[in-house]
Structure 1
Amino acid sequence: MSEWSLSQLLSGLHDDIQRRLETVRKSFGHPGTKGDASEKVWLELLQTYLPQRYQAATAHVVDSRGVFSQQIDVVVFDRQYSPFIFHYEGQTIIPAESVYAVFEAKQAINASQVNYAREKVGSVRRLHRTSLPIPHAGGTYPAKPLIPILGGILTFESDWTPALGDSLIEALDGGQDGDRLDLGCVAAHGYFSFRQQDSRYEVHAGGKPATAFLFKLISQLQFSGTVPMIDVQAYAEWLSK
């Protein structure tokens, strides 16, 4: 009788993601089709393996002032406490208060794509988010501080040589707090993460990057806590406008 192997299970998860991304890159000729297929691979990874309190979707994010983000390839958002998520004609629209993380999905990482991902992340972080005091049996807790929204980029390949060298760090260091990329995966080579404690990037080359990225994301989401209590009435005011 064969023995179970956790190592093989975790390796197989990464190998499946890398194989699917590589097939998409090599097999699909139309850029739009290729991009949609890559997004689907990453979304299915997160939809399958993130705890059920989180969901992942391609979406626009909106705030209570009526401002919309750009379309985001991968939005990780709360579904346990969020009172509403809009689905209309194939489009998903998520209130800003419900968002935990946003990622841009591309075929390969380079300076241009890093800048583009930062622009997308910034379009979400600039949105207004409400946070109401939380009632309980003994009174009211103060309004919860807003959680930082994680931002990042997901790719299969790198246009740099070496793939995760100084050129990557130089491109990432160009970001500010509002558009900084916190986490990213280059499935064929490794992943990177931003260290808040000393404001620098760590690069993790080799290994099984897709699985390692997934675990790192889950770890960071655990420390994010819960999204704030949304002011639904702030959105309801748009009914009379």
Structure 2
Amino acid sequence: MSHLSKLRGKEFLQRAYAGVQDALAAQIRSSDHIIHDGDRGEVNEQYFIDVLRKYLPNRYTVDKATVLDSEGQVSDSIDVVVYDRQYTPTLLDSDLHRYVPAEAVYAVFECKPKINKIYLEYAAGKAESVRRLQRTSVPIPHAGGKPFPPKAHFDIIAGILATEVEWADGFGESFVSSHSKLTNFRRLDCGLAIDGHCFDAYDQGAYEFCSSENALIHFLFRFLNQLQSLGTVPAIDWNAYASQLSR
């Protein structure tokens, strides 16, 4: 392939993915006419859910949901939950809301109109309500004979999705100062603002930022990489759930 072909191919991809970001931004701007904040928030949540459903592999399901555990504890209502549906069915479903077993959860996101100190802390609280839940794991039978040992629990990914970043310097010093205080169960691993910013946060205070018209697809590719690193969810101990009903 010639250098020119590579260059044109790169430009084509950049323009195409920028178009995806522009389309989502236009959808979110179109909700500005909705008077009530709660209603407008629900509409925008669905836009983000639709984008994740479109770009994530079919093994991942994306919904607004509440997460529950085998001890009967529940999380806050979570705007976006990325979870497994192949091995772990949802519970107590209704047309508008699902209850997802804690063991099935890969990632949770809070959707807000902007990313600022207050909304970072709010999203961190939602993440904590999920990560504090109990998760079971049992041996996994297979055709080869002796079952695989119970899988260790991975860290559930948590983040924030928004229309814009409130700080004038984007994800600069003010963002880092606020974000770095969110630790342990309250940590936020990644975030996206449709105005063209995204971040990934790592241990020891390391960050990766993207500020461009391709921030959305950059965020999606980075998120896919994180999901890939988690593998599959653990096998649930359904007896632990059943025991709650026999007491």
Match of 1:202 in 2: 208
Question: Using the alignment, how far apart are the partners of 1:111 and 1:126 within structure 2?
Answer: 22
Question: Using the alignment, how far apart are the partners of 1:199 and 1:146 within structure 2?
Answer: 23
1:138 and 2:145 are equivalent in the alignment = yes
Residues 54-65 of structure 1: matches in 2 within 5 Å?
54-65=60-71
Match of 1:169 in 2: 176
Question: Structure 1 residue 22: deviation in Å?
Answer: 2.3
Contact 1:163 1:189 in 2 (8 A): no
Residues 110-149 of structure 1: matches in 2 within 5 Å?
110-136=116-142, 137-149=144-156
Contact 2:180 2:205 in 1 (8 A): no
Question: Structure 1 residue 223: deviation in Å?
Answer: 0.5
- TM-score w.r.t. length of structure 2: 0.91
Contact 2:21 2:213 in 1 (8 A): no
- TM-score w.r.t. length of structure 1: 0.93
Question: Letter of the aligned partner of 1:8 in structure 2?
Answer: R
Question: Using the alignment, how far apart are the partners of 1:83 and 1:90 within structure 2?
Answer: 16
1:78 to 61, 77, 84: 84
Match of 1:95 in 2: 101
2:222 to 216, 219, 238: 216
Match of 2:51 in 1: 45
Contact 1:15 1:208 in 2 (8 A): no
CA RMSD of aligned residues (A): 1.7
SS for the counterpart of 1:157 is strand
Gaps of 5+ in 2: 1-7
Match of 1:23 in 2: 30
Question: Letter of the aligned partner of 2:22 in structure 1?
Answer: D
Further displaced range: 76-85 or 94-103: 76-85
SS for the counterpart of 2:201 is strand
User: How many residues matched?
Assistant: 237
Alpha carbons of structure 1 residues 63 and 57: separation in structure 2 relative to 1, 3 Å: same
What per-residue deviation string (whole Å, max 9, x for no partner) do you get for residues 148-180 of structure 1?
100000000122112221111111101112110
Contact 2:196 2:216 in 1 (8 A): no
Question: Letter of the aligned partner of 2:189 in structure 1?
Answer: D
Question: Letter of the aligned partner of 1:167 in structure 2?
Answer: S
Question: Structure 1 residue 83: deviation in Å?
Answer: 3.7
Match of 1:33 in 2: 39
Identical amino acids, percent of aligned pairs: 38
Question: Letter of the aligned partner of 1:202 in structure 2?
Answer: E
What per-residue deviation string (whole Å, max 9, x for no partner) do you get for residues 62-104 of structure 1?
0000000000000000112214443136321000000000000
Alpha carbons of structure 1 residues 208 and 7: separation in structure 2 relative to 1, 3 Å: closer
